[in-house]
């Protein structure tokens, strides 16, 4: 089993290049099979989640070619099966996007109920409500969602809560429905906009993505496209907090600064200097960090996927900070691990109260999910001594070459697969 071993204490410095957005890529890959023509997708992050989804679409018959590390060519004309194997779904929740994509194209999809990151109960009732509103039947059979329609018909759908997944899934199916669909209370995340732009580049007619009302006029079919995925705002934000937590100075390149505004605002509040350029941001943390309060919200609010990273940073900020999680229950599982590193954090319901300490100390900790894992790495980079992060398979779901990028910023971090390698690392770093 692979682990990270980290010797903390080096302020991160230098430049880092951000990959394409994992969450946009997952939906775009699913949408790519909605045409029988060839689609080329650039800026595809080479991470476990996207690679598993590529396997899943190959498994149902699509042709996938990797032109280079970040470019894939997909052709969905050879799809023979609308039933996705549980093996893929249990690895990535987002394979539920194949429901909307296959339902739109073939008016029939069978996808097992998703598992995925263990961050609380994650129902998909809103996705299913949307499919039903478009005229599809939806039943659960042998652990799979089976959805079918003679034809899909546009509809007016009001989401009960802001859901990224439901907005995208409904948008995909409605693109190939007859007539007009309106999604109200739609999610406004940058990757919702990116998926809409991608579908439009294939001939869909979607307006309003990025606002809370999305209007879709169904089209007969979609056509070939070449598309480049937006940069990953969560990967970018993770490096920004890593810079802050280590009191470093990092230029984060290939980003859309607008997408990072909530993160930037918090970094400034806690005492960092953040400089914005056209497609990069520089974070400079020279002195002590200050406390803050933060609550996760749908975009443009502070993202839940950046909650563990800010908490790991606030663990060594002066004063008492309060972090409130309002999107997912059970997203504080990393807190016990941070406590083992000397953090002073109490969790009450959906709130973490963090009393900043002078310093964290290295310990052996375990990642419970993707962003929790990233937070433990941030903590390890800022801690005194050696930290070992187990279960990095979660981190590899969403970060491309995380340790390589961190090393290029001066971090002492290595991916190891046995105790002997850990010993070697200890000897090397002294
Ligand atoms: C996506 C992201 C995830 C991010 C989350 C919130 C992907 C692949 N994943 O997840 O990284 O943390 O957005 O920004 O893009 N809900 C329901 N019923 C539904 C759908 C959602 O009750 O049918 C609830 C969820 O339990 C949660 C909230 O709505 O409390 C938001 O979930 P949603 O936006 O759907 O998250 P995901 O799309 O699963």
Contacts of 396 by beta carbon, 8 Å cutoff, 6+ apart: 2, 47, 48, 402
Strand 63-68, strand 280-284: pairing = unpaired
Rounded average pLDDT over 161-181:
98
Task: Please give all residues whose beta carbon lies within 6 A of any atom in ligand 1, as ranges.
Answer: 23, 26, 94, 122-127, 161, 163-166, 187, 303-305, 327-328
pLDDT score for 122: 75
pLDDT score for 92: 85
Instruction: Tell me the best of 24, 163, 166 to mutate to test the pocket of ligand 1, counting ligand atoms within 8 Å of each CB and taking the most.
Output: 163
d(CA 250, CA 253): 9
Is the confidence at residue 120, as pLDDT, over 80? no
d(CA 407, CA 419): 21
Instruction: Tell me the best of 96, 131, 164 to mutate to test the pocket of ligand 1, counting ligand atoms within 8 Å of each CB and taking the most.
Output: 164
Q: With CA atoms as reference, report the closest residue to 3 among 430, 424, 419.
A: 419
The two tokens of residue 331 are 């997203």
Query: By alpha-carbon position, which residue is closest to atom 32 of ligand 1?
Result: 163
Is the confidence at residue 117, as pLDDT, over 90? no
Q: Dihedral sign for Cα 80, 165, 195, 28, please.
A: negative
Question: At 143, phi and psi to the nearest 5?
Answer: 80, 5
Atom of ligand 1 nearest to the CA of 121: 26
Q: How confident is the model at residue 118 (pLDDT cuts 50, 70, 90)?
A: low
pLDDT tens, position by position, 325-382: 999 988 999 999 999 999 999 999 999 999 999 999 999 999 999 999 999 999 999 9
Radius of gyration of the chain (CA): 22
pLDDT score for 333: 92
Mean pLDDT in the chain? 96
292, 264 contact by CB (below 8 A): no
For the ranges 122-131, 222-231, 253-262, which has the lowest average pLDDT? 122-131
Query: By alpha-carbon position, which residue is closest to atom 15 of ligand 1?
Result: 23
pLDDT tens, position by position, 201-229: 999 999 999 999 999 999 999 999 999 99
Alpha carbons within 13 A on the beta-carbon side of 321:
28
pLDDT score for 170: 98
In sequence order, what DSSP letters do the residues of 172-225 get, joined into one string? Answer: HHHHTSBSEEEEES----HHHHHHHHHHHHTT-EEE-BTBSEEEEE--S----E
DSSP 96: G
pLDDT score for 245: 98
Q: Is 117 a catalytic residue?
A: yes
What percentage of the chain carries pLDDT values higher than 70? 98
Q: Enter the pTM of the model.
A: 0.97
d(CA 344, CA 404): 30
Q: How confident is the model at residue 230 (pLDDT cuts 50, 70, 90)?
A: very high
CA of 131 to the centre of ligand 1 (A): 17
The two tokens of residue 109 are 């999809």
d(CA 230, CA 237): 14
Q: With CA atoms as reference, report the closest residue to 60 among 28, 42, 91, 34.
A: 34
Atom of ligand 1 nearest to the CA of 189: 14
pLDDT score for 381: 98
Torsion angle in degrees (nearest 10) through CA of 392, 396, 400, 406: -10
Question: Which entry of 84, 117, 187, 202 is annotated as an active-site residue?
Answer: 117
pLDDT score for 121: 64
75, 39 contact by CB (below 8 A): yes
């Amino acid at each position: 089993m692979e682990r990270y071993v980290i010797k903390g204490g080096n302020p991160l410095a230098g430049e880092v290049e951000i990959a394409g957005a994992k969450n946009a890529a997952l939906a775009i890959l699913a949408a790519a099979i909605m045409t029988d023509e060839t689609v080329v997708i650039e800026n595809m992050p080479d991470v476990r989640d996207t690679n598993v989804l590529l396997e899943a679409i190959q498994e149902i018959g699509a042709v996938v070619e990797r032109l280079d590390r970040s470019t894939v060519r997909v052709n969905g004309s050879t799809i023979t099966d609308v039933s996705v194997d549980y093996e893929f779904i249990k690895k990535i929740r987002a394979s539920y996007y194949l429901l909307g994509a296959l339902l739109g194209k073939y008016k029939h999809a069978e996808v097992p109920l998703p598992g995925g990151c263990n961050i609380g109960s994650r129902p998909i009732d809103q996705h299913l409500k949307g499919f039903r509103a478009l005229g599809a039947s939806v039943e659960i059979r042998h652990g799979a969602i089976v959805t079918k329609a003679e034809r899909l018909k546009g509809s007016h759908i009001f989401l009960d809560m802001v859901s990224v997944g439901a907005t995208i899934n409904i948008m995909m199916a409605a693109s190939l429905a007859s007539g007009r669909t309106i999604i109200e209370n739609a999610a406004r995340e940058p990757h919702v906009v990116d998926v809409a732009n991608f579908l439009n580049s294939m001939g869909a007619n979607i307006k309003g993505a990025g606002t809370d009302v999305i209007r879709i006029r169904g089209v007969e079919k979609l056509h070939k496209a070449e598309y480049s995925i937006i940069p990953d705002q969560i990967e970018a934000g993770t490096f920004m907090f890593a810079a802050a937590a280590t009191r470093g100075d990092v230029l984060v390149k290939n980003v859309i600064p607008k997408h990072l505004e909530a993160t930037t605002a918090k970094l400034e509040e806690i005492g960092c200097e953040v400089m914005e350029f056209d497609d990069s941001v520089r974070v400079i943390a020279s002195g002590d960090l200050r406390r803050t309060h933060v609550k996760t919200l749908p975009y443009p609010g502070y993202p839940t996927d950046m909650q563990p990273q800010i908490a790991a940073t606030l663990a060594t900020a002066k004063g008492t900070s309060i972090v409130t999680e309002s999107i997912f229950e059970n997203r504080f599982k990393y807190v016990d691990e941070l406590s083992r590193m000397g953090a002073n954090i109490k969790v009450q319901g959906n709130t973490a109260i963090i009393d900043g300490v002078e310093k964290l100390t290295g310990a052996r900790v375990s990642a419970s999910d993707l962003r929790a894992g990233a937070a433990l790495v941030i903590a390890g980079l800022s801690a005194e001594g050696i930290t070992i992060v187990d279960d990095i398979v979660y981190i590899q779901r969403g970060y491309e070459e995380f340790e390589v990028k961190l090393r290029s910023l001066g971090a002492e971090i290595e991916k190891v697969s046995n105790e002997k390698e850990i010993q070697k690392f200890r000897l090397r770093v002294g």
